[in-house]
Amino acid sequence: MVPVAKILKSFGTEGDLLISSAYDLEDFDTKEPVFITFDGLQVPFFIQAIKPKGGKYIVHLNDINNLVDADEVVGRELFADIEDEEDDEIDFTGWTILDKGKPIGICSGLEPIPGNPCLYIGDTLVPLHEDLILSIDEETRTLDLNLPEGLI
């Protein structure tokens, strides 16, 4: 199970929820359940409706049909049993990592934090986000990143 969204607040009086997610929830299979944890147990819910709203989503889950039910799940995370997409990703272990062309170290592994994978460079975790990648050279096994000042 992977956390895929956070329930921010109720939306309206019919049980709709405003949620944020790093995933494109419109691509989720509505025939598969999402889960909310209650008392340490993951309870399945099915997405009945989903609409994007300003970078977030308005979602209606089965069995959440009023404001009282919706308020009970506010602040909780939604979990899903999703396929790891790591098979399509490059394993950067052993690669030279650059910051704007300057070598900063060798990648010793990946920390697969959901929605925020990070590379190990020595004892330092460096975010591996597509917005930070300048170039990938598979021949020379180098990854050039544009890291924020002060991160390394």
> Does 135 fall in a domain?
yes
Q: Which residues of the chain have pLDDT under 50?
A: 84-88
pLDDT at 122: 86
Pair (9, 73) in one structural domain: yes
Supply the range of the domain harboring residue 41.
2-80
Has this prediction a pTM greater than 0.75? no
1: Cβ–Cβ under 8 A, 6 or more apart, which residues? 35, 42, 79, 80, 81
pLDDT at 99: 93
Pair (20, 60) in one structural domain: yes
- The CATH number given to whatever domain includes residue 64 is 2.40.30.60
pLDDT at 89: 64
Pair (34, 49) in one structural domain: yes
Pair (61, 17) in one structural domain: yes
Domain end among 80, 103, 132: 80
Pair (64, 123) in one structural domain: no
pLDDT at 85: 47
pLDDT at 135: 92
Pick the closest to residue 34 from 70, 62, 67 (CA basis): 62
For residue range 112-135, list pLDDT tens digits in order: 877 788 899 988 899 988 889 999
pLDDT at 28: 83
Pair (70, 112) in one structural domain: no
- The CATH number given to whatever domain includes residue 138 is 2.30.30.240
Pair (75, 17) in one structural domain: yes
pLDDT at 86: 44
